[in-house]
């Protein structure tokens, strides 16, 4: 979720109030609520990627490679061993449901101006100190208020709310993989697109299978330093880089978010190294969103990201040849407008999540330059 703060400098009271408003998606919106039925974590399904080992059942879904004994849950809290078999316990039981603008994911080059029915179950396979949605990501489906919404009902709810897509978001959708996969298949059959908003921390085999039913993804590239990835997020960098390549090679529309955290991920030399890697590996036309950090969870003592740091990051990205660069969580249209990399013309003007003006014609600028994206 992207948080829009309307002032360059905010008091702690103002920030807390705006965060509370932004996190209101945990209260299901009225137009969606009538379709849902409160439920516990009533359904579990066998995990698709697992293997027996002498030490227990190994989960093969993500690089954490959890090995679990009877009744033990994985690091993500969403996968538990029962009777010597691994199950996903969040299937069909989302704890968050809302109809969002697709720009909120953020996706700026994917069906702009449309809405995405957004769902999540509890759980995440990373442990980010700065997590904005920690109240659901750092807990289990056993401990959240859930709604009974099997895949076919998710699709029906999306259609009823005139959503062009379904977004798996808010927590980490890789941890409720089976629910995402089955829902995505059902959505495809009804002409509804599917979106992953993910940390990209997943093994190649399950990701390739998932990409067959996913249309777009925004992946958090949290830093470009292995030590930072471990200390700040509890993971490794390389698996995320591998996931970016898989999404690209499988034809999924991809955008990347880099949250710039003061003292952690704001080093210009690391931002430059990241941008160099993206350019060298074929991502020069992949939109990158530099996102402003606000104090949250275990990093409440830090200040918000200075605006000049985001501008520096954007300048570095431009210097290194990246074509579509955005600065998120800032007020002002300069941060979210889309410009033609050839003639410099503003082709999409945005205010917050609203499209003010769209000058694309058949996916092209008036100068004839094709702008990468999914525009219908």
Strand 216-220 and strand 253-260: the pairing is parallel
In DSSP terms, 245 is beta-bridged to: none
Give the pLDDT score at 330: 85
User: Which pTM was predicted?
Assistant: 0.91
3-state helix, strand, coil in the chain (%, to 5): 30, 25, 45
**CB of 80 closer than 8 Å to CB of 86:** yes
- Which stretch of 10-14, 219-223, 356-360 has the lowest confidence by average pLDDT? 10-14
Q: Which residues have a Cβ under 8 Å from the Cβ of 43 and sit 6 or more positions away?
A: 91, 92, 93, 150
Give the pLDDT score at 332: 64
Average pLDDT over residues 139-147: 92
Give the pLDDT score at 34: 58
The alpha-helical segments, DSSP class H, found in the chain are 12-22, 30-33, 134-137, 151-160, 177-189, 204-211, 226-228, 238-249, 268-280, 307-319
Mean pLDDT of the chain: 90
What whole-number distance in Å separates Cα of residue 62 and Cα of residue 174?
8
What whole-number distance in Å separates Cα of residue 254 and Cα of residue 240?
13
Q: Which residues have a Cβ under 8 Å from the Cβ of 170 and sit 6 or more positions away?
A: 1, 25, 96, 118, 119, 120, 133, 136, 137, 197
Residue 4 has pLDDT above 80, yes or no: no
Burial 157-171, CB ≥16 within 10 A → b, else e:
bbeebebbbbbbbbb
Domain regions of the chain by residue span: 12-40+94-358, 45-88
CATH classification of 12-40+94-358, choosing from 3.40.50.300, 3.30.360.10, 3.30.470.20, 3.20.20.70? 3.20.20.70
Q: What is the pLDDT of residues 153-179, one digit of tens each?
A: 999 999 999 999 999 999 999 999 999
């Amino acid at each position: 979720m992207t948080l829009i703060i309307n002032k360059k400098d905010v008091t702690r009271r103002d920030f807390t109030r705006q965060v509370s408003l932004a996190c209101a998606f945990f209260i299901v919106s009225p137009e969606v609520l009538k379709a849902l039925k409160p439920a516990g974590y009533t359904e579990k399904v066998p995990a698709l990627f697992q293997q027996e080992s002498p030490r227990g059942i190994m989960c093969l879904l993500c690089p954490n490679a959890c090995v679990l004994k009877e009744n033990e849950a994985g690091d993500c809290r969403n996968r538990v061993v029962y009777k010597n078999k691994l199950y996903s316990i969040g299937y069909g039981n989302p704890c968050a449901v809302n109809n969002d603008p697709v720009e909120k994911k953020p996706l700026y080059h994917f069906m702009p101006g449309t809405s995405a029915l957004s769902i999540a179950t509890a759980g995440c396979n990373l442990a980010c100190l700065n997590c904005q949605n920690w109240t659901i990501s750092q807990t289990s489906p056993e401990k959240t208020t859930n709604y009974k919404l099997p895949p076919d009902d998710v699709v029906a709810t999306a259609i009823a709310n005139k959503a062009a897509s379904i977004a798996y978001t808010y927590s980490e959708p890789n941890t409720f993989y089976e629910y995402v996969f089955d829902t995505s298949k059902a959505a495809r059959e009804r002409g509804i697109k599917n979106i992953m908003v993910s940390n990209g921390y997943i093994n190649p085999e399950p990701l390739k299978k998932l990409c067959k039913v996913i249309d777009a993804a925004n992946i958090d590239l949290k830093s470009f330093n292995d030590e930072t990835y471990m200390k700040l997020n509890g993971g490794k960098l390389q698996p995320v880089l591998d996931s970016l390549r898989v999404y690209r090679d499988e034809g999924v529309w991809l955008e990347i978010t880099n949250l710039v955290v003061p003292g952690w991920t704001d080093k210009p030399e690391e931002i430059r190294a990241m941008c160099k890697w993206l350019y060298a590996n074929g991502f020069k036309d992949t939109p990158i969103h530099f996102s402003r950090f606000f104090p949250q969870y275990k990093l409440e003592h830090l200040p918000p990201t200075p605006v000049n740091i985001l501008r520096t990051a954007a300048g570095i990205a431009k210097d290194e040849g990246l074509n579509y660069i955005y600065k998120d969580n800032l007020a002002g249209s300069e941060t979210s407008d889309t410009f033609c990399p050839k003639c410099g013309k503003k082709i999409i003007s945005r205010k917050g999540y609203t499209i003010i003006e769209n000058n694309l014609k058949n996916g092209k600028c008036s100068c004839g330059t094709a702008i990468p994206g999914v525009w219908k």
